[in-house]
Structure 1
């Protein structure tokens, strides 16, 4: 009987084993959570590197290539027009812009060639674009050479026609294909990264709750077994673990939000506006082509309308009705922003307004576009009245009130909207990187502290059983 009573008074052998088990569980959970956060942070930084250093620049380079091709062709037409009409200032400006566009195209092709390495489809596209661009330059060079010869005007227009056909059937589709493929790569990275962040956030929350539950159970067991209300070491470990979990979840949720802001709020608009700018330059080129090549005037008029519809789509509109319908639909939009009577790249931007000043800038862009559209009708009216020189002077002039001046104002307004979105894209990338670098070291450090504090808090209790 005495021996049985002594056994009952003796602390059960399972007490230190349970303490060691809870300590081991705490250390394993803190280590697992720290590793998970570390891997998540490295992955987020890798995503930002891919987004900011590869995907976005590739997409904008492809869009800039498309724009430069349109601009180069427009300036080639302008040189031929200005030469024929003996317009010195427009000719000099066209020569300068032509050279700028040619240099831009060479730069963008080199950039895209490097970016395409490893992607055989894009590599072939860039190679074909490079070959086609060489052929295009040869045709334009021949057109300008023929235009300098007496009686060579017809041959110059024929050569330019071949060049612009090459541009429209091979160069521009190739450039737009690169825009789409690079933007699709960005979208795929964004979708995968956002999904991974959501999964890791759920895992961090689950591990964090489990860690806090183990620490709570350990505190409860110590209080019950050793008749102490709180163990200071375990309490401090619990506080560290709680803060680490909060910081870890904040890091992942904030990273997901910055990523969404960079892609959806900012870069989606950058892509739409870059496409709009390229289409605008192509439409402007159609006006020059219309004046240069009388045999194709109907074709270029239809092409101008098609591009106008890409920018600001109005169902059933013709060139004669477009201005009035644009004014009516725009007035409807200003009264009710849910008015859906127009579509196109401008609509995409107006439906994705996010940042301060963006809506005003976007609306001023559409209003500047409306002015440019009215200029186009004036050019066609002058041609119809047999005043082709006046139409050419108005189309190519840079004085206030001329078509080029209004086109420049439209592009400046468009650039302001693009710059707002580019700035916020850059800010989102910077904030996303800063979130990881600012919170990850604290979270992992606190988890390490939680493991150490747990061990220190249990050390005196375990010493009692030695």
Structure 2
């Protein structure tokens, strides 16, 4: 995912630079063409003692509309590109990382039960992945749940509160679309339930209730750890889908802005050429 993100970011930077260059070119060439038409109108009025040439005037209006339309199309494309890259895809990256980390953490939890000789290693790995998802500085497995609850309550009171980090924070700092805020918050709350389940598993094991710990960890009945993990993944997929749908929509709208409006701009420029020729034709006839 990281390599795809870097590749996409490089393409995005190239596309953004290209759009900036195209916008400058449209504006500069458009202004030059308008200046030429205005000077031509002035010359015809002075040379032939007429106030306005209707053909050249129509060409000027068409050119102005073509320039405005071209600038609008490029600006709209840049806007759709920004939404696709930053508003949508940045969230998809964070949430996809979260999903991969979640499955690794869940596997570490199972290994903790099944491999007694390496329990310390898997416990540390689980905590490390928890910190990648919802980072709490200095937290241990013993203090993690309480600190998560405290910092989450603070965030719900003030969304500018910065006492936690991680992939969930990346998503929560990039809320853009309708329904995304509530879906992201539901994901974190489902994650908190799963984290509390982990502590219950470890407590059962410490109390010598290994069979109960295994059943609670690996069963899929309602109220078990795996059931809560599934609910967490469902919530995570929901907020990911919101961003993916908007990414797809932004890409489609960006392409539509070009394919649907560009022919209109070309038609206006062709009309400007035709009107200029029609406007000059009577004047050329006077030289015969």
For the criterion TM > 0.5, the same-fold answer is: yes
Task: Look up the match of 1:62.
Answer: none
Task: Look up the match of 1:322.
Answer: 144
- Once the two structures are superposed, what CA deviation does each residue of 1:395-423 show, in whole Å capped at 9, x if it has no partner? 11111111011101111110010000000
Separation in 2 of the partners of 1:336 and 1:274?
26
Count of aligned residue pairs for this structure pair: 288
Task: Look up the match of 1:277.
Answer: 99
- Once the two structures are superposed, what CA deviation does each residue of 1:280-304 show, in whole Å capped at 9, x if it has no partner? 0010111110011000101000000
State the Cα distance separating 1:311 from its structure 2 match: 0.2
Which residue of 65, 71, 87 maps to 1:265? Answer: 87
Task: Look up the match of 2:249.
Answer: 427
TM-score normalised over the length of structure 2: 0.98
Task: Look up the match of 1:395.
Answer: 217
Task: Look up the match of 1:255.
Answer: 77
Task: Look up the match of 1:82.
Answer: none
Which residue of 273, 276, 279 maps to 1:457? Answer: 279
State the Cα distance separating 1:441 from its structure 2 match: 0.6
TM-score normalised over the length of structure 1: 0.61
Q: 1:181 aligned to 2:10?
A: no
Separation in 1 of the partners of 2:109 and 2:6?
32
Please, which moves more after superposition, 221-230 or 351-360? 221-230
Separation in 1 of the partners of 2:51 and 2:67?
25
- Once the two structures are superposed, what CA deviation does each residue of 1:429-463 show, in whole Å capped at 9, x if it has no partner? 11011001111111111111111211111011011
What stretches of structure 1 of length at least 5 have no aligned partner? 1-178
Separation in 1 of the partners of 2:89 and 2:167?
14
State the Cα distance separating 1:217 from its structure 2 match: 1.4
1:78-157 matches, within 5 Å, as none
Q: CA RMSD in A?
A: 0.8
Task: Look up the match of 1:414.
Answer: 236
State the Cα distance separating 1:214 from its structure 2 match: 1.2
Separation in 2 of the partners of 1:262 and 1:201?
20
Which residue of 207, 218, 231 maps to 2:40? Answer: 218
Task: Look up the match of 1:379.
Answer: 201
State the Cα distance separating 1:227 from its structure 2 match: 2.0
Task: Look up the match of 1:296.
Answer: 118
Task: Look up the match of 1:114.
Answer: none
Following TM superposition, the consecutive aligned residue runs of length 4 or more in structure 1 with deviations greater than 6 angstroms are: none
Task: Look up the match of 2:186.
Answer: 364
Separation in 2 of the partners of 1:265 and 1:212?
37
- Once the two structures are superposed, what CA deviation does each residue of 1:334-363 show, in whole Å capped at 9, x if it has no partner? 111111110000000000000000011001
| Structure 1 counterpart SS, 2:126 | helix
1:156-171 matches, within 5 Å, as none
What stretches of structure 2 of length at least 5 have no aligned partner? none
Q: 1:309 aligned to 2:125?
A: no
